């Protein structure tokens, strides 16, 4: 396989780099819209490392959810996923080529190895079934011992600071938003997966409940030996939780690195613009600035750097060719022709800080 700029961007260099649990290489997702391809994921390459929390951040419609769906080969038709996705059940073992699996193998993979928590628990639960019914149905569908599985359900719910008996005997509409979302997290872990994909899991919750759930994730990750991909449009929200951040813009990666480095020393103008567009306790409100312009239509992505039409640093070369990936720090990479000038072009009035959850 030829080494493209995207692959260069995902080259792993630290002590965890040799132990990925999921490898994504040159993955694209396209839809044929009246004989014109609509690109909703464009040649993305990145690793989810064993035992880490990787935050995937970008504006709505940037391809974040599509990346998670592609990792489970769950892109709905007529979407077409290309590239390579390899899952390593254990360190040093032969990988599972996810895109080559049969429907039966995918069904097992999606709950038993890689599980997903979607945004909005109420839309994920069947309102005519109790929470207990959801757990039992999942266990039966995968031929797990129901009694043993329900013992695990009690433990999971307790770990998420819920009353197991009350929650299990309730219908989803009888629970608060925060309780429903935590019950959904417990359900996603009932078959003991190694990987948890979380798609905007706290977006429908108030700030206090968001912080509460995030503070639980670190404990859950350690106790159940999980690797977590956390998708959000809110960069500050995930920065204190994630070990690394991957910034997506218009279906392609823009910057990848350790959370603190990306937040405090980002060298991509889009990442810096994202940070300026959200409230910060350390900066005055007047320092906030929305990102001018709008993201491109999937059927009309620009040539060259996708961010060029909105970028204050864009030159002719940005519009003509894809920028190469450059190493700008320890395990920190960015795809920008003019990354050395990003700090001056998009300055911060106050130094950005990362507060661990």
pLDDT-derived band at 349, boundaries 50, 70, 90? low
Domains recognised in the chain with CATH numbers:
5-266 (3.40.50.300)
pLDDT digits 0-9 by tens, 186-234: 999 999 999 999 998 888 778 788 888 888 898 999 999 999 999 998 8
pLDDT digits 0-9 by tens, 112-135: 999 999 877 777 899 999 999 999
What is the average pLDDT score of the chain?
88
Please say whether the beta carbons of 230 and 56 come within 8 A. Answer: yes
H helices of 196-311, where? 207-223, 235-239, 259-265, 269-276
Cis peptide before 78 (omega within 30 of 0): yes
Asked whether the predicted pLDDT for residue 4 surpasses 50, the reply is: no
Higher pLDDT, 341 or 13: 341
Q: Which of 299, 303, 310 lies closest to 346, judged by CA?
A: 310
Beta strands in 50-194 (DSSP E): 53-57, 80-87, 96-97, 114-117
What's the rounded Cα separation, in Å, for the pair 25 and 17?
A: 14
pLDDT digits 0-9 by tens, 65-108: 999 999 999 999 889 999 999 999 988 889 999 999 999 999 99
What's the rounded Cα separation, in Å, for the pair 2 and 114?
A: 28
pLDDT-derived band at 294, boundaries 50, 70, 90? confident
Instruction: State the DSSP H helix or E strand holding residue 326, giving kind and residue range, or none if neither.
Output: strand 325-329
Query: Which tokens hold the place of 262?
Result: 């990306």
Bridge partners (DSSP) listed for residue 295: none
Residue recorded with tokens 């959801």: 134
In sequence order, what are the residues at sequence separation of 6 or more whose Cβ sits closer than 8 angstroms to the Cβ of residue 87? 21, 22, 95, 96, 98, 109, 113, 114, 195
Share of the chain above pLDDT 90, in %: 68
Please say whether the beta carbons of 322 and 304 come within 8 A. Answer: yes
Asked whether the predicted pLDDT for residue 352 surpasses 70, the reply is: no
pLDDT at 353: 55
Query: Which tokens hold the place of 328?
Result: 């700008």
Burial class (CB in 10 A: 0-12, 13-18, 19+), 156: buried
Please say whether the beta carbons of 253 and 245 come within 8 A. Answer: no
What's the rounded Cα separation, in Å, for the pair 271 and 249?
A: 9
Is the pTM higher than 0.85? The answer reads yes
Instruction: Specify the 3-state DSSP secondary structure of 29.
Output: strand
pLDDT at 33: 72
**Dihedral angle over CA of 347, 349, 351, 355, nearest 10:** -110
What's the rounded Cα separation, in Å, for the pair 31 and 233?
A: 23
Bridge partners (DSSP) listed for residue 41: 29
Pairing of strands 252-258, 244-249: antiparallel
Q: Which of 327, 325, 328, 345 lies closest to 337, judged by CA?
A: 325
The span from the first CA to the last CA of the chain, in angstroms, equals 40
């Amino acid at each position: 396989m030829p080494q493209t700029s995207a692959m260069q961007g995902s080259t792993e260099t630290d002590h965890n780099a040799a132990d990925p649990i999921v490898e994504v290489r040159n993955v694209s997702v396209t839809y044929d819209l009246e004989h014109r391809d609509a690109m909703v994921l464009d040649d993305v390459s990145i690793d989810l490392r064993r035992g880490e929390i990787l935050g995937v951040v970008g504006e709505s419609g940037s391809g974040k959810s599509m990346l998670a769906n592609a990792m489970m080969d769950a892109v709905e038709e007529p979407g077409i996923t290309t590239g390579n996705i390899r899952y390593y059940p254990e360190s040093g073992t032969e990988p599972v080529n996810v895109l080559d699996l049969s429907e039966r193998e995918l069904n097992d993979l999606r709950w038993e190895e890689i599980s997903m928590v979607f945004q909005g628990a109420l839309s994920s639960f069947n309102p005519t079934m109790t929470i207990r019914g959801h757990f039992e149905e999942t266990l039966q569908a995968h031929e797990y011992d129901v009694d043993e599985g329900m013992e695990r359900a009690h433990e999971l719910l307790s770990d998420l600071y819920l009353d197991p008996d009350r929650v299990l005997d309730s219908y989803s509409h009888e629970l608060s938003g925060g309780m429903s979302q935590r019950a959904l997290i417990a359900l996603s872990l009932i078959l003991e997966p190694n990987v948890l994909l979380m798609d905007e899991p706290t977006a429908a919750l108030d700030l206090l409940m968001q912080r509460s759930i995030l503070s639980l994730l670190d404990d859950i990750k350690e106790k159940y030996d999980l690797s977590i991909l956390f998708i959000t449009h809110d960069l500050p929200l995930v920065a204190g939780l994630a070990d690394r951040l991957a910034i997506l813009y218009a279906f392609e990666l823009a910057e990848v690195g350790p959370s603190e480095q990306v937040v405090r020393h980002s060298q991509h103008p889009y990442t810096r613009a994202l940070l300026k567009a959200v409230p910060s306790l350390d900066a005055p409100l007047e320092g906030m600035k929305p990102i001018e312009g709008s993201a491109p239509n999937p059927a009309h992505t620009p040539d060259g750097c996708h961010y060029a039409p909105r970028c204050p640093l864009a030159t002719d070369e940005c519009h003509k060719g894809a920028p190469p990936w450059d190493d700008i720090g320890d395990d920190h990479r960015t795809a920008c022709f003019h990354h050395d000038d990003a700090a001056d072009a998009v300055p911060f009035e106050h130094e950005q800080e990362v507060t661990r959850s």
